[in-house]
Amino acid sequence: MMKKLKITETSLRDGHQSLIATRLTTSEILPILDKIDKVGYYSLEVWGGATFDACIRFLNEDPWERLRAIRKKVKNTKLQMLIRGQNLLGYKHYADDVVEAFVKKSLENGIDIIRAFDALNDYRNLETTIKSVKKYKGHCQGCIAYTTSEIHTINYFVGKVLELEKLGVDSICIKDMAGILMPEVGYELIKEIKKVSKLPLELHSHCTGGIAQILYMKAIEAGVDIIDTAISPFSQGTSQPPTEVFVELLKGTSRDTKLNMELLGEVADYFKPIKEKYRKEGILNPKVMDVEPKTLVYQVPGGMLSNLMSQLEQQKALDRYEDVLKEIPKVRKDLGYPPLVTPLSQMVGTQAVLNVLLGERYKVVPKEIKDYVRGYYGSTPAPIDKIVQKKIIGDEEVITCRPADLIEPSMKQFKKEIGKLAKSEEDVLMYALFPENARKFLEERDKPAVEEYEINLFI
C-alpha cells in the first residue's frame, strides 16, 4: 500500500528564486513562519541555491542570520537547503576543507536536510559533501540531474541512483530543473528506481514547459514519496506546481497529504500582496509566468531563457533568439551532453550566443568552457567531440582525476585574506564563496553607527 504523500514547500527558496530573482527579505519571511510550521509539511526549502548570494549582493542581509532566525521560528518542520556539491553555492569547485566547513556550519545553524547535486552527475564531486553531511549528523539527499540525450536513458539514471546509494545518501531526488521530464517517462523512471532502491524518492520539477502538474500526478501514481511544490502566489511559471492544488486533489485518497488546507489559505493570503509589490516594482517579470513549450524542444530551463534574451538584448540581436535556441542542443552534443543546470546552463548558453553572433562556431570560447573541456568540472556524460575539443584546447591534456584533488586546502588562506573583518567561521565562508560582495558587506557591517544628533550638526 502507498503511504501518504509528503510535500516539501519551496516558496522560501526556489519559488521566489524562480519568480522574483530571490528577493524575498527575511522580514517578509519571518511573520508567516508560525503558520507555515503548523501546516504539516515534510520539509521547508529555505536556504541555498541563490539565496546566500542574493542576501549579501542585493538585500544587505547576513544569510547566516536569516537561517538562524528561521530556525528559531520553525520548531516542527525540517529545514532544507540546496548545494551544488563541490561548487557549494558558488560557480567553481572549492577545496575539500571549505566544503566540509560549509556543511558543518549549515547544519549547526539550523539545516536538517542538504540536497546536493552535481551538474554533470559526476558523483566524485559529491563525495566530500555526502561524507561531511553524515559526519555532522545531517540528512543528505543526493540528486540525479535529469536531462535528455541519446545516453540519458532510464537505465542510465537508475545506475546513478545505485551510485548515490553506495555513497551513503539518505534519500534520492529526481531534479528536473528544466521541467522536461515527460509524464510517462517519469512514471517509468520512478517505477524502475523503486525496484532497486528502498530510499525515499522525491521529485522536483518546474512548470516552465507546461507539463509539471501532469508529471506529478503520474509520479504520485508510480509511488513517489515526496514532491516539491510552492504556495500558490509563488508557484507556476518557472517555479513549481501549487501546493494547494495537490492537497485538494489527493484529499480522501490513499495518498492524502493531510496538510492543513485552512492554514495554507492563510499562508497564500499573506504572500499575495508581497507578490503584487514585486510585480509593481518590475522584479516579477511577466515573462517568467509564461508557459514556454520550446523548453520541451530545446531543453532550456526558464531562467536560462531569460538570461539568453538579456544577453541578446545587450547586443541588439534579439532577432537571433531562435537561432540561439537551435544552437544550444548542438553545443550540448559537442560538449558531451551536459545537463543544463547551474553553472553549465549559463556556460552552454553563452557559448551558443557567441557561436551565432560571431558567425563561426567556437571562434571565441570563454575560460569556463575551456576549463570544462580540460576536465576541471568533472567527467562529461558522453565524450566531447574530438574536433571541437581540439579547436577549444588544442593538444592540451585532459585531467581524469577528481577535480578537487588538485585544489589545496584553502580555509586558512581565506581567513588570512579577510582578516579582522571576519568575526566567525561563517564570515570566512561567506568570503570564500563570494569574495568581492562579502568583503563589501562585512566592511559596511562593521562601520560604526552614526547617531542622529551628530548628523544634525551638519545640517
Please compute the mean of the pLDDT values over residues 396-424 and round it to a whole number.
97
User: Residues 199, 332: one domain?
Assistant: no
**Stretch (H or E) spanning 407:** none
Residues 258 and 304 in one domain: no
User: Per residue in 410-420, pLDDT tens?
Assistant: 999 999 999 99
Number of domains in the chain: 3
Could you tell me if residue 1 is inside a domain?
no
In a domain, 72, yes or no: yes
Task: Look at residue 284 and give its three-state secondary structure.
Answer: coil
Query: Taking residues 309-335, what's their average pLDDT?
Result: 90
**Same domain assignment for residues 394 and 424:** no
Q: Does the residue 456 lie in any domain?
A: no
Q: Are residues 430 and 317 in the same domain?
A: no
| Residue 324 included in any domain | yes
pLDDT score recorded for residue 125: 98
Shared domain for 267 and 352, answered yes or no, is no
Start-to-end Cα distance in the chain: 74
- Cell numbers found for residue 182: 515527460
Q: What is the mean pLDDT of residues 350-376?
A: 96
- Taking only the tens place, the pLDDT of each residue in 20-37 is 999 999 999 999 999 999
Asked whether the beta carbons of 33 and 74 are under 8 A apart, the reply is: yes
**121 lies in the same domain as 174:** yes
Identify whether residues 224 and 314 lie together within a single domain.
Answer: no
Higher pLDDT, 400 or 454: 400
**What average pLDDT does this structure show over 52-71?**
97
Same domain assignment for residues 206 and 74: yes
> Whole-angstrom Cα distance, residue 36 to residue 198?
29
Q: Residues 229, 236: contact at Cβ < 8 Å?
A: no
| Domain around 42 | 6-281
Q: Are residues 335 and 277 in the same domain?
A: no
Region 349-374: mean pLDDT is: 96
Give the domain CATH number at 91.
3.20.20.70
For 221-260, write each residue's pLDDT tens digit.
999 999 999 999 999 999 999 999 999 999 999 999 999 9
Question: Which amino acid appears at position 455 of this protein?
Answer: I
Q: Are residues 260 and 340 in the same domain?
A: no
Beta-bridge mates of residue 83: 116
**How many residues are there in the chain?**
459
If DSSP codes are grouped into helix, strand and coil, which group holds residue 177?
coil
